[in-house]
Amino acid sequence: MVNEIIVDVSPGEIRVGILEDKELAEIHIERTSHQGLVGNIYRGKVSSVLPGMQAAFIDIGYEKNAFLYVGDAIPKKEYSDDETEVSSNYEEYNITDILKVGQEITVQVIKEPIGTKGPRVSTHITLPGRNLVLLPNADYIGISRRIENDTERQKLKKIAEKLKPQNMGLIVRTVSEGKEEADFVEDVSFLLKLWAKIKESENKGPVPRCIHKDINLIYRSVRDLFTWDVNKFIINNEKEYLKVLELVEMISPLLKSRVELFQKDYNIFDYYQIETKIERALSRKVWLKCGGYIIIDKTEALTVIDVNTGKFVGESNLEETVLKTNVEATREIAKQLRLRDIGGIVIIDFIDMNNSEHQQLVLDSLKQSLKSDRTKTIVLGMTELGLVEMTRKKIRQELSTVMSCDCPVCDGAGRVYTGETNAMNILREVREHINCTSVKKFKLEVHPSVAPVIEDNIERFLRNFTDNKDKKVKVTAVSDIRPAGYRIKDVDMD
């Protein structure tokens, strides 16, 4: 597989596209007006403690207070091989015994503010390096779940145990596979110095304030994404290109030859056909190669994906047609979840299958397809209604939220009133206006889609519902008015 990282640096915006065999697999966007908070560390102050929710709100200086759950406020003690999740028995704790209003506390943002909710924070600080993640407030070792070879996992665990600072934890990252002890020493040294600097700044300055800001999207991409699996790292800004070379020289010198400066007088995302792929990533309907399609709908609580056979009629029998469509859909669904960065609960309505073996094949295909996703996913299984339940960890805003907003006409509902409905609503409001004035003649401006309906019904409304039946209304179609809107003027008509 040919993997490429394409970086578009523009005034006010950085975009990073990850291509796998020329197909867009991930897109990350960071804007000067709204830089991400995940990874930032703050010295905050407890604003309120809610025992009923086992949570507290922390003032970190952001426009909305940050949410701190009790499970993120107590130490993690139990060992786990998972890169991101370590369980702790938080049920024995009460949030009121841990935090008090006005108390100062150091927290790290683990989830971006989404919608009306503020950011989510944790006291479980993580400082990522190239090969390792330092856990200053924990005391365990974790190995990336994407390193599957048992022998390699045991080797890396022994190295981590040897290098682990006292009373701290380490997570061995996926990129560490195949590396030896010498490759980790500098990482540990750098991260310990970084933590010492953060601790030093904890008690200096006003509260709340940011005491550590994570590096920007370009350098995070180098640190977290630019591995030996990536054939090229291409960037269109010379200044940032030179900085990337310096960073790569520090963390993985042998990858320097794969960094390229894009110098063509052309939009880099257009050149690599990423712009059109981003547009498709915002589409509700996604076609499958076989002729079927999937529909992706977002609700407040979850994402719903519906699979349909569409144009695909199959070759042999209905069961095989359904199975082939569903299996292909699993690959596309996994791709779309990753590309759109969809998080939270996901419900998938596959085409009905009566054969239990076929159901298991579809579930296995979905799980296999999700393995390429760096974000943690859990497939819970299939319900009696044939719906597949799964979750995907939600960290940042979804692509659709970053790039689009609710339609001002339908307020995000996705549907608008018909021309007839708009016309009748306008006529009722116009009737009230006419009845409240002694003026005899009016000019009514409406959208072209409703003008014919109003013209057909205005005389009847005037005749049956107004006090003065000699009043006249001239209807004019204008395109600069919303279909549900209108302008009425008191005028002398010729």
Residue 315: the pLDDT is: 67
Residue 65 lies in a domain: no
Q: How far apart (Å, rounded) are the C-alpha atoms in residues 410 and 12?
A: 30
SS3 of residue 148 by DSSP: coil
What value does the mean pLDDT take over residues 460-474? Answer: 72
Q: How far apart (Å, rounded) are the C-alpha atoms in residues 240 and 262?
A: 11
Lowest mean pLDDT across 105-114, 339-348, 411-420, 447-456: 411-420
Whether residues 226 and 244 share a domain: the answer is: yes
- For residue 266, what are the contacts with CB-CB under 8 A and spacing of at least 6? none
Lowest mean pLDDT across 383-387, 405-409, 427-431, 465-469: 465-469
Q: How far apart (Å, rounded) are the C-alpha atoms in residues 340 and 400?
A: 7
Q: How far apart (Å, rounded) are the C-alpha atoms in residues 259 and 253?
A: 11
Helix (H) or strand (E) holding 338: helix 318-340
> What pLDDT band is residue 239 in, cutting at 50, 70 and 90?
very high
Q: How many domains does the chain have?
A: 4
Residue 80 lies in a domain: no
Tokens for 300, please give them.
Answer: 């407040």
Amino acid (one-letter) located at 104: E
Last residue of a domain, one of 234, 250, 275: 275
Whether residues 144 and 231 share a domain: the answer is: no
The CATH number linked to 258 is 3.30.420.60
DSSP tag of 98: H
The CATH number linked to 204 is 3.30.230.10
- In 3-state terms, the chain is what percent helix, strand and coil (to 5)? 35, 25, 40
Burial class (CB within 10 angstroms; exposed 0-12, middle 13-18, buried 19+) of 218: buried
What value does the mean pLDDT take over residues 479-487? Answer: 90
Name which residue leads in pLDDT, 46 or 32.
Answer: 46
Q: Does 95 score more than 50 pLDDT?
A: yes
> What pLDDT band is residue 469 in, cutting at 50, 70 and 90?
low
Whether residues 351 and 297 share a domain: the answer is: yes
Whether residues 354 and 329 share a domain: the answer is: yes
Residue 79: the pLDDT is: 44
Q: Does 87 score more than 70 pLDDT?
A: no
Tokens 């409304």 belong to 461
Residue 453 lies in a domain: yes
Residue 77: the pLDDT is: 56
Question: What is 160-195 written as a DSSP string?
Answer: HHHHPPTT-EEEE-GGGTT--THHHHHHHHHHHHHH
Whether residues 305 and 386 share a domain: the answer is: yes
Whether residues 301 and 371 share a domain: the answer is: yes
Nearest residue to 198 (alpha-carbon basis) of 261, 126, 91? 126
Residue 59 lies in a domain: no
**Strands 104-111, 120-122: parallel, antiparallel or unpaired by DSSP?**
antiparallel
What confidence tens digit (pLDDT) does each residue in 160-199 have? 999 999 999 999 999 898 889 988 998 999 999 999 999 9
Residue 83: the pLDDT is: 45
Whether residues 224 and 174 share a domain: the answer is: no
For 115: left if phi > 0, alpha if psi spans -120 to 50, otherwise beta; the answer is left
Tokens for 491, please give them.
Answer: 């005028």
Residue 94 lies in a domain: no
Whether residues 358 and 396 share a domain: the answer is: yes
What confidence tens digit (pLDDT) does each residue in 347-397 have? 999 999 888 899 999 999 999 999 989 899 999 999 888 899 999 998 888
Lowest mean pLDDT across 9-18, 79-88, 233-242, 476-485: 79-88
> Could you give the percent of the chain with pLDDT greater than 70?
94
Nearest residue to 472 (alpha-carbon basis) of 435, 441, 436? 441
DSSP tag of 482: -
Structural domain span for residue 330? 283-403
- ∠ CA 244-248-251, rounded to 5°: 140
Tokens for 158, please give them.
Answer: 């022994």
Residue 81: the pLDDT is: 43
Residue 88: the pLDDT is: 55
User: Are 457 and 465 in contact, with CB atoms under 8 Å apart?
Assistant: no
Residue 89: the pLDDT is: 60
Q: How far apart (Å, rounded) are the C-alpha atoms in residues 191 and 126?
A: 10
Q: How far apart (Å, rounded) are the C-alpha atoms in residues 325 and 272?
A: 29
> What pLDDT band is residue 84 in, cutting at 50, 70 and 90?
very low
Question: What is 307-328 written as a DSSP string?
Answer: EE-TT---SS-HHHHHHHHHHH
The mean predicted confidence, pLDDT, of the chain is 89
Helix (H) or strand (E) holding 423: helix 419-435
Residue 463 lies in a domain: yes
> Could you give the percent of the chain with pLDDT greater than 90?
61
Amino acid (one-letter) located at 8: D
Whether residues 306 and 392 share a domain: the answer is: yes
Q: Does 80 score more than 60 pLDDT?
A: no
Whether residues 375 and 396 share a domain: the answer is: yes
> What pLDDT band is residue 146 in, cutting at 50, 70 and 90?
confident
What value does the mean pLDDT take over residues 447-472? Answer: 79
Whether residues 288 and 392 share a domain: the answer is: yes
Residue 93 lies in a domain: no
What confidence tens digit (pLDDT) does each residue in 309-335 have? 887 766 677 888 899 999 999 999 999
What confidence tens digit (pLDDT) does each residue in 279-314 have? 888 899 999 998 899 999 998 889 999 999 887 766
Residue 82: the pLDDT is: 44
Dihedral through CA 340, CA 344, CA 349, CA 353, nearest 10? Answer: 110
> What pLDDT band is residue 26 in, cutting at 50, 70 and 90?
very high
Lowest mean pLDDT across 47-56, 79-88, 168-177: 79-88
Tokens for 200, please give them.
Answer: 């030093």
Q: Does 412 score more than 80 pLDDT?
A: no
Last residue of a domain, one of 209, 243, 266: 209
Last residue of a domain, one of 374, 403, 432: 403
Residue 79 lies in a domain: no
Question: How many CB atoms lie under 10 A from the CB of residue 352?
Answer: 10
Q: Does 429 score more than 80 pLDDT?
A: yes
Q: Does 461 score more than 90 pLDDT?
A: no
Nearest residue to 269 (alpha-carbon basis) of 260, 278, 280, 259? 278
Whether residues 131 and 153 share a domain: the answer is: yes
Sign of CA dihedral 235, 238, 239, 242: positive
